[in-house]
Amino acid sequence: MNIVVLVKQVPNTTDVKIDPKTGNLIREGVASIINPEDRHGLEAGLQIREKLGGTVTVISMGPPQAMETVCECLAMGADRGILLSDRAFAGADTWATSTALGMAVRKLGEFDLILAGRQAIDGDTAQIGPQVAEFLRIAQLTYVRRLDAQEGKVIAERALEDGCEHIEAPTPVLVTVLGALNKPRHPTVEGILAATSERSPVEVWNAADIGVKVQDVGLAGSLTHVVRTFTPKGARDTRRLEGSATVIAAELLEALRQKEIRLGE
Amino acid sequence: MGAIVIDLEKCNGCTMCSRACPYQAIEMADKKARWIEDRCTLCGACLESCKFDALFGEMPVPEVPDFSDRRGVWVFVEQHDGEFHRSAFELLGCARGLADELGQEVVAAVLGNDLKEKASRLIHHGADRCILVDDPSLAYYQTCTHTHALSELVKQHRPNILLIAATHLGRDMAPRLARRLGLGLTADCTRLTIDPDERILLQTRPAFGGNIMATIVSRFSRPQTATVRPGIMTPLPADSSRTGEVSVAQVDMAACREFTRVLECVLPEEKGVDLASAKIIVAGGRPVCSDRGVSVLREFADAVGGEMACTRVVVEEGFLPATRQVGQTGQSVRPAVYFACGISGAVQHKAGMDGSRYVVAINKDPDAPIFEIADFAIVGDLFEILPALTRAMRER
Amino acid sequence: MNKIPRPTPEEMIRKSFARFTDEEIIPKAREMDEADQFPRWMFDKIAKTGAFGIRYPRSVGGAGGNTTQFCIMVEELARGSMSVAAFTAMQCLMGTNFLFEYGTPEQHERLLKPAIRGEKVASFALTEADAATDLANVKTTARPDAEEWVISGSKTWITNAPVADFFTVLCQTDKNKGLRGLDFFLIERDTPGLYVSKKFDKLGTRATEISELAFTDVRIPHENRLGKEGQGVGNLMRILSVIRVMTAALSLGLARAAYDQSARYAMERTQFKKHIGSFQLIQQKIANMATEIWASHLMTYTTAEMIDQGQRPLKEASMAKYYASEVACRCADEATRIFGAYSYSMEYDVQRYYRDCRFLLFGGGTSEILQTIISRECGVS
């Protein structure tokens, strides 16, 4: 089975801090990681390759530093990595990103399965998977937490808000996965040394390589634009309650009663 | 589309353009520049490089089209087993405000089977009109059939704004629809307003795990499409005096190929908790990751008649089910009072609960960020405070 | 158009094993320590990363890495658990090195490759009751008899011994030749006459098992002598600087763990309505820890690089090990002071660092003997 895995390098948002003075994100010193759910997508691809044979190709769009992410995927076991890197790709919304990723998948040629994380932790949009599927006019399965691939089809369990559904789709199909799907393996030492060698199978593709015009990708090709960013601010007057637990309990219940909050009904 | 034209009379083969091209789209042949169309991305770097006016090109410039004829604020009405999802009423409430500001109508778009009878509820909750696509293939959600039906409706009616709930269903369908129709799409909006000057939709959403908020616009496509986080917008009270047209649209469902086949739909055994509509929530963080912790939390929740909820770590550690997780990756809640017990207040968690009317925070760490958004701050051990509160409740 | 450089293997090994440590080791470190036994399941997890073959070429199933990369790996593991790092180091280096260098192809096939895959556990037996630093006093003997060697004697403080499948054992072959009368022998666990004592009850590194070995006329084949006759100590010297720089890396890992926890705690813990990190005496501790860790880092990796360039920097490796292990102990000590009474609680990691760091003071040579060696290397003796 020819498998393509879409991965994104993201800042580790749990490390992201806000400058209390300016309200800006402090991105300095924040580690870049493979988007967590994308690692689960890669793990799924590697497991399917182990079962059915075939190849796993990783595609990542990002700045030159994203080479690290592609190499990490190779170290985990991917056969080939494609880094879509071009200044023209910068600032893309999901429309422009799915154009670039879709064109890159097309350039790869034949594929049976595309895997991706449900969403990236820096944007949380969950739009790239479905938009690439639509670009390629293939089936999509999102929110997948169990996956069984066979020749010609996949059977998946999709998480719904309440419960789940078991669903079947013919290949080619795009699947976005949840962390519950599997436990990603750690790279091997041998894999790391091979992936970081200058001969490792990573290609860097630019806009011309995937056959797009600069107007169709990146910021220029985006349909949505950010007009303002700001730090969310909770403006509440905090009242501190002090004393013994019993005193605090009595004070709190009385205060809530005065606010007409009815407890215990 | 644009093209690069080379005036071979003026070209003296200086190679400047070839070297300026980042894409190897200009080669030198017979001492003249030659354009390789396949590799050209129309970036324009070559035009600036030529000192001899030998290169011409027209670069496509994105223009904001005139959308003044687009009218109507549409709400996609999510339904499960013929019941409208509560998010539909929240979206109608939000759409009503936007439509009134624009002087346009609110349209509820329903995809399903045999739902005409129920459509009046949507009118009562704020829709001016309701358009249905009525087809057996739409009874149960499937990506391709729903995307097809809704995109055909949008093509027929050309609305100005389209709101879709950011549920699993909405987040499965909306991006597919947007890609098909060439629409900009903003995910998981928590605030929607109309820009007073441009009269366009300002779509505000959290980014970076809720660390910042971004306001996003779609100037280049219509309808302006957004998915909206459930549990954030306020539904309007039902007004049964409201009337409106309910029409059935004709969509050729045979033209759509559904790739997937649903084998089975499994509902959880324990009926899902409805945190989003809970009035009182008692939520625990890492310190409740023990059997004793959960029981202390439960006793207090029972005493105040609230629902138990938790942070992500409590779910990950297996002490409470995912249906009780509040935050960026869980539920958004807005109860009258939210008891945050042993919750530090990571932005990811705050994103799900900062719409609560009152927040009571109990934490050992006086610097816990949760105190920044708390109305009542209790610096202390929840294992002392909660039992005391439970006792006090019982004594009343 | 392929000009974007790959990340270096060193960066990636650090990042990858840092993640392994954070995800797999740290959440289980306390549990492993309290269980007081060799966590085979953790050994198996590490095996899956190919860690045990990091120093060996691909021909035997290794990864072809260098000493720097090996040190980075064990440093990261030691940040999570000194026990885990210690048995990994044993498997990567001392337990398998002589088998790799001097074993037969058949022994490689049957023992080395499975050890690199993590299917067999390796151990290394040097120390005796009366011979540790003083190797010339080794009394375990190997005498030739027909086509076999007959081993008699005993060893003590043998890391991994209770769980090992094979041992590399230093034996005396010629009493009259002193250090030139010592050789290494490969002895498999199921060989008749080999007795493994029950594991020692120890202060620290409790998830690494250590015990005694006793040999009563243990007969092993001729080819089980690893290396040329009389070359045992000489061959040991060839990897002594690797052992010492590796121990420095282990020390660095523990020091960083103690420092990281201290720095975080200093910003969390409040007294007098201020976080304790705002007090200058705490700041001094943090500054000293950070500075000494940086010095340890520079010494460790500068020395590792010298080894990778083909040198045998015994003086520098001894300095790195001596300094880094003392720094680890100081950091563990300072961490207990910053944590106050909480460092006394078994629920906090600080007490484990405080116990585990003592292991570093003798493994790979005591500080005292290292100071003697350094002085001698400096020409003062």
Both B98 and B196 in one domain: the answer is yes
Q: Do B359 and B341 contact (CB within 8 A), yes or no?
A: no
CATH superfamily of C233-377: Butyryl-CoA Dehydrogenase, subunit A, domain 3 (1.20.140.10)
Backbone φ, ψ for residue A198 (5° rounding): -65, -15
CA distance A17 to B212: 10
Q: The pTM is what?
A: 0.86
Query: pLDDT digits over C265-304, tens only?
Result: 998 788 888 889 999 999 999 999 999 999 999 999 999 9
CA dihedral of A157, A161, A163, A164, whole degrees rounded to 10: -20
More confident residue, B368 or A25: B368
Whether B113 and B140 have beta carbons less than 8 Å apart is answered as no
What is the DSSP code string of B19-88? HH-TTS-EEEETTEEEE-GGG-----HHHHH-SSS-EEE----------TT---EEEEE-EETTEEPHHH
Residues of C in contact with B367 (CB under 8 A): 268, 270, 275
Total number of residues shown for chain C: 381
Q: Is a pLDDT exceeding 70 seen at residue C175?
A: yes
Spatial distance between the Cα atoms of C93 and A228, rounded to a whole number of angstroms = 57
Q: How many CA atoms lie within 13 A of A221 on its CB side?
A: 23
Burial of A259 (0-12, 13-18, 19+ CB in 10 A): middle
* CA distance linking residue C53 with residue C76, whole number of Å: 17
> What is the residue type of B133?
V
Q: What pairing do the DSSP bridges indicate for beta strands C122-125 and C141-145?
A: unpaired
At residue C101, the pLDDT reads 96
For strands B261-266 and A164-170, give the pairing: antiparallel
Q: What CATH topology corresponds to C9-117? A: Butyryl-Coa Dehydrogenase, subunit A; domain 1 (1.10.540)
CA distance B320 to A249: 25
Contacts of C296 (CB under 8 A, 6+ apart): C248, C251, C252, C255, C320, C323, C324, C327, C328
Q: Which of A26-40, B21-35, B167-181, B375-389 has the lowest mean pLDDT?
A: A26-40
Three-state SS letters, C135-184: HHHCCCEEEEECCEEEEEEEEEEEECHHHCCEEEEEEECCHHHHHHHEEE
Q: Is the pLDDT of residue B104 over 50?
A: yes
| pLDDT > 60? residue B70 | yes
Q: How many residues does chain A have?
A: 265
Mean pLDDT of chain C: 94
Instruction: Please write the tens of the pLDDT for every residue from A103-151.
Output: 999 999 999 999 999 999 888 899 999 999 999 999 999 999 999 999 9
Mapped onto helix, strand or coil, the DSSP state of residue C366 is: coil
Statement to judge: residues B86 and B53 lie in one domain:
no
- B303 and B379 assigned to the same domain: yes
CA nearest neighbour of C140 among C211, C194, C209, C99: C194
* Contact in structure between A42 and A56 (CB atoms under 8 Å): yes
* Spatial CA neighbour of B117 closest among B239, B246, B244: B246
Q: What is the pLDDT of residues B122-160, one digit of tens each?
A: 999 999 999 999 999 999 999 999 999 999 999 999 999
CB contact under 8 A, A187 and C49: yes
pLDDT at C172: 94
Residues B167, B79: contact at Cβ < 8 Å?
no
Higher pLDDT, A237 or A88: A88
Q: Give residue A25's pLDDT.
A: 64
| pLDDT > 60? residue B40 | yes
Residue B291 structure tokens: 């059997």
**Owner of token pair 């909820």:** B309
Optimal mutation site among A127, A175, A258, interface B, most CBs of chain B within 10 A: A127
- Asked whether the predicted pLDDT for residue B297 surpasses 90, the reply is yes
Best residue in A32, A162, A246, A253 for a mutation probing chain B (most B CBs within 10 Å)? A162
Please give the share of chain A, as a percent, with pLDDT higher than 70.
Answer: 93
A2-216 homologous superfamily: HUPs (3.40.50.620)
Alpha carbon A165 to chain centroid distance? 22
| C205-229 pLDDT, tens digit each | 999 999 999 999 999 999 999 999 9
Using 50, 70 and 90 to split pLDDT, how confident is the model at C1?
A: very low
Which residue matches tokens 């869980």? Answer: B330
Which residues share a beta bridge with A82?
A59, A203
So what's the pLDDT on residue B270? 57
C326 CB-near residues (< 8 Å, 6+ apart): C361, C367
Q: Residue C188 burial (CB < 10 Å; 0-12/13-18/19+)?
A: middle
CATH number at B40 reads 3.30.70.20
Of the candidate CATH numbers 2.40.50.140, 1.10.10.10, 2.60.120.380, 2.40.110.10, the domain formed by C122-232 belongs to: 2.40.110.10
What is the CA A135 to chain-centroid distance, rounded? 18
From chain B, pick out residues whose CB is under 8 angstroms from the CB of C275.
Answer: 367
Asked if B391 reaches chain A (Cβ–Cβ under 8 Å), the answer is: yes
Nearest to A98 by CA among A72, A59, A57: A59
Q: What pairs with residue A174 in β-bridges?
A: A114, A140
Q: How many CA atoms lie within 13 A of B145 on its CB side?
A: 20
User: Residues near A52 by Cβ (< 8 Å), separated by ≥ 6?
Assistant: A1, A149, A150, A151
What is the C-alpha separation between A92 and A128, in angstroms, rounded?
11
Structural contact between residues B391 and A249, judged by C-beta atoms closer than 8 angstroms: yes
The sign of the dihedral angle between the CA atoms of A190, A193, A199, A204 is: positive
B63 inside domain = no
Chain C residues inside the 8 Å CB shell of A67? 4-7
CA C259 to chain centroid, in Å, comes to: 21
Write the DSSP symbol of residue B277: G
Residue B150 and residue B109 in contact, taking contact as beta carbons nearer than 8 Å: yes
C27 to chain A, closest Cα gap in Å: 16
Pairwise CA distance, residues A113 & A41, whole Å:
11
Q: ipTM strictly over 0.90?
A: yes
A258, with CB counted inside 10 A (0-12, 13-18, 19+), is exposed
Other beta carbons within 10 Å of B50: 19
Residue B277, min C-alpha distance to chain C (Å):
36
In the predicted model, what is the mean pLDDT of residues C134-150?
92
Q: Rounded to whole angstroms, what are the CA distances from A123 to A9, A126, A257, C228?
A: 12, 8, 40, 63
Residue B46 lies in a domain: yes
How do beta strands B83-84 and B55-57 pair? unpaired
Environment class of residue C65 by beta-carbon count within 10 Å: exposed (0-12), middle (13-18) or buried (19+)? buried
The residue among B193, B148, B141 whose CA lies nearest residue B167 is B141
Helix, strand, or coil here: C347? coil
Residue A264 to residue A199: CA distance in whole angstroms: 68
Identify which has the larger pLDDT, A239 or C12.
C12
B264 domain-assigned: no
Reported as a pLDDT band with limits 50, 70 and 90, residue A14 is low
- What residue ranges do the domains of chain A occupy? 2-216
Higher-confidence residue of B131 and B396: namely: B131
Mean pLDDT across chain A, nearest whole number? Answer: 91
Among chain A residues, the shortest Cα distance to C17 is held by A186
Residues of chain C positioned with their CB less than 8 A from the CB of B24:
1
In tens, the pLDDT along A168-221 reads 999 999 999 998 899 999 999 999 999 999 999 999 999 999 999 999 999 999
Partner residue opposite B261 with nearest CB, options A140, A168, A240: A168
SS3 content of chain C, % helix, strand, coil (to 5): 60, 15, 25
Indicate the DSSP class of residue C198: P
**Which of B176, B268, B379 has its CB closest to that of A140?**
B176
SS (H, E, C) C54-123: CCCCHHHCCCCCCHHHHHHHHHHHHHHCHHHHHHHHHHHHHHHHHHHHHCCHHHHHHHHHHHHHCCCCEE
Within the 51-80 window of chain B, which residues sit less than 8 Å (CB to CB) from chain A? 59-60, 62
Contacting residues of C for A209, CB less than 8 Å apart: 1
The minimum CA-CA distance between C68 and chain B, rounded to whole Å, is: 36
The parent domain of residue B43 ranges over 4-57
CB C205 within 8 A of CB C35: no
Instruction: Report pLDDT for B241.
Output: 95
* Chain-centre distance for alpha carbon A127: 10
pLDDT in tens, B209-248: 667 889 999 999 999 999 998 877 889 999 999 999 999 9
Taking the C-alpha atoms of C224, C228, C233 and C238 in order, what is their torsion angle to the nearest 10 degrees?
-100
Give the A window 218-237 contacts with B, CB below 8 Å: 220, 222-232, 234, 236-237
Name the residue among A128, A166, A246 with its Cβ closest to that of B264: A166
Q: Give mean pLDDT, residues A40-64.
A: 97
Question: Is residue B308 less than 8 Å (CB to CB) from chain A?
Answer: no
Q: Which of A52, A69, A51 is nearest to A60 (CA)?
A: A69
CA dist A242 and A91 (Å) reads 50
pLDDT of B268 > 90? The answer is no
Nearest Cα of chain A lies from the Cα of B393 at a distance, in angstroms, of: 8
Asked whether residue B116 is assigned to any structural domain, the reply reads yes
- The alpha carbons of chain B give a radius of gyration, in whole angstroms, of 28
Tally of domains within chain B: 3
Residue B250: pLDDT band with limits 50, 70, 90:
very high
Strand partners, B282: B308, B339
Domain boundaries, chain C: 9-117, 122-232, 233-377
pLDDT, mean of residues C18-39: 95
